[in-house]
Structure 1
Amino acid sequence: GLVAVTAGCDIVSYGGAAVIGMLASVALLFGIEFIDRKLKIDDPVGAIGVHGLCGALGTFCVGIFATDGGLLYGGGVSLLMIQSLGVFAVATWTLSTTYVLFKAIDLTVGLRVSEEEETSGLDIEEHGIESYADFAPRILYIK
């Protein structure tokens, strides 16, 4: 909820902030599932869902819940359209620059490690030591 309400924290009422937080929590649950399972994007900390999806939702919701010009406060759709255009512009810029950057990395040094390196663990491959030895799989020997 915090990421979503940040966009309008100075112009949204307490009630509006609570509604935005609730909407963001529901959107986050479905968003993370969609990103992980449908798009198959590896996002281990949920940054795309939290910052991307909830940030966009919160920015959009300013056009609805803003006490000065929001749709629910008699401001009409103009602020909602401006906020929607802003979300679209930022999403377009972010997606296009990210694509170009990752494509350049993939064509030069590559984005993926080998399957063997992935299975054995990157810490072993790069540094010759396990970073999280307590979490490594162990073989139990019974005497």
Structure 2
Amino acid sequence: MATRGAGGWRGWRGRRPFWGGLLVLLGGAEILFTLRAPLPVVLHIGMQGLAGYLVPIVMTVCGVLILLNPAQRLFYSVLAVLSSLASWITSNLGGFLVGMIIGVLGACLTFGWLPDQPPRRRRLRRSPAAKAPGPAEA
């Protein structure tokens, strides 16, 4: 039962841009956290109010939708990279650069992900010097 569960998780994760969606989700969450951080000095550059909260919420929603609906990953990844870059102006310099960089990286991973790729297997290659000469080569 445990191997079936682990195989099921691995199969679900393999059919979608998991790491890209997770990074977009974490980037949006980090920017939301820095907006309400109890820091003595918090940068407030740009528009405050609705845009400061709307941009990281859009990033977080894009991350969830990338994970749940991988067929529309291109649209969500473009929206995520645009909202990540917009967070530079609206949300404490993009969550002090950390959330913005994580969001852009996740959106790029999602955009470059290709579905239905056969699993790659590592082949061990022997160097030509390690081969023993066969009867025809001797």
Higher relative contact order (CA 8 A, sep 6+): 2
TM-score under structure 2 length normalisation: 0.30
TM-score under structure 1 length normalisation: 0.29
